[in-house]
Amino acid sequence: GQQVMQIPQYQHVQEGEDFTTYCNSSTTLSNIQWYKQRPGGHPVFLIQLVKSGEVKKQKRLTFQFGEAKKNSSLHITATQTTDVGTYFCAGHNNDMRFGAGTRLTVKP
Amino acid sequence: GAVVSQHPSWVICKSGTSVKIECRSLDFQATTMFWYRQFPKQSLMLMATSNEGSKATYEQGVEKDKFLINHASLTLSTLTVTSAHPEDSSFYICSARGEGGWPTEAFFGQGTRLTVV
């Protein structure tokens, strides 16, 4: 069945540094979604990528979908303490499977 | 955005009893609902996928007789943990997705923290 791998598992950065998390699917996806989960909270939808090679930006966040629609990345420029949380990708076909998540901590 | 309401947000029950968790889509018709389990500091593990009016599809290793899923209407799915044991203690979360129209992405309930004592 479909598997979604996500790396790194943890990332600790100094405030102002950049951050990137990567996802790779074992199968071609119809779309990929990104979620953020704060400690103690539930995942909150960030964005959906559908097209091959698609790039979307939300302020300091840049999301990319690979040409083969099997990999994706989330890049945060100049991290802030408010970016703390776990970022999950979710590969979508008939069902939706999550990557392991990348826990981001930011040192002020 | 779409709203998915999950209830209860937390529950403590005695070992051997059953617990029902409800997941409702408030402003759209959820043709598909997903149930996940999340252990502390881990990712969301898909337990089952349910489509309205049909039996749920369970992931390998998930006991269908222990985790009963019902999706009887387009706005409600329930997960019943039967004969709960301490190892069932976890964070359970549902997500709902519309079909063909809106929304195309899945929206999550607030989650239910189950503690079995």
How far apart are the CA of A2 and the nearest CA of chain B, in angstroms? 12
What's the pLDDT score for residue A86?
94
What's the pLDDT score for residue B1?
62
What's the pLDDT score for residue B77?
93
Average pLDDT value for residue range B39-48: 86
Residue B82 near residue B70, CB atoms below 8 Å: no
Give the residue ranges of chain A where pLDDT is below 70. 1-2
CB contact under 8 A, B36 and A48: no
Average pLDDT value for residue range B50-72: 90
What's the pLDDT score for residue B54?
82
Summarised one tens digit per residue, pLDDT across range B4-29 is: 999 999 999 999 999 999 999 998 88
Sequence-distant (≥ 6) Cβ neighbours of residue A44 within 8 angstroms: A35, A36, A37, A38, B108
Q: Which of B43, B110, B111 lies at the smallest CB-CB distance from A100? A: B43
Phi, psi of B86 (to 5 degrees): -55, -35
The structure tokens listed for A8 are: 């790194």
Average pLDDT value for residue range B28-36: 88
Which has more pLDDT, A95 or B30? B30
Question: How far is the C-alpha of B9 from the C-alpha of B6, rounded, in Å?
Answer: 7
Mutation choice for B interface testing from A31, A36, A42, A88 by most B CBs within 10 A: A42
Whether B43 has its CB under 8 Å from any CB of chain A: the answer is: yes
Number of Cβ pairs < 8 A linking chain A and chain B: 46
Summarised one tens digit per residue, pLDDT across range B76-116 is: 999 999 999 999 999 999 988 876 655 567 788 989 999 99
Residue A52 near residue A69, CB atoms below 8 Å: yes
Phi, psi of A82 (to 5 degrees): -70, -10
Average pLDDT value for residue range B23-50: 88
What's the pLDDT score for residue A68?
96
Q: Which of A31, A33, A88 lies at the smallest CB-CB distance from B43? A: A88
Q: Is the pLDDT score of B59 beyond 70? A: yes
What's the pLDDT score for residue B16?
97
The structure tokens listed for A47 are: 């964005």
Sequence-distant (≥ 6) Cβ neighbours of residue B12 within 8 angstroms: B115, B116, B117
CB contact under 8 A, A96 and B109: no
What's the pLDDT score for residue B102?
53
Summarised one tens digit per residue, pLDDT across range A71-91 is: 999 999 999 999 999 999 999
For a pLDDT cut of 90, what percent of chain B falls above it? 58
The helix (H) or strand (E) run that includes residue A93 is none
What's the pLDDT score for residue B11?
97
| Residue of chain A nearest B33, judged by CA positions | A95
Q: Is the pLDDT score of B69 beyond 70? A: yes
Q: What DSSP string runs through B63-89?
A: -TTTEEEEEEETTEEEEEE-S--GGG-
What's the pLDDT score for residue B82?
97
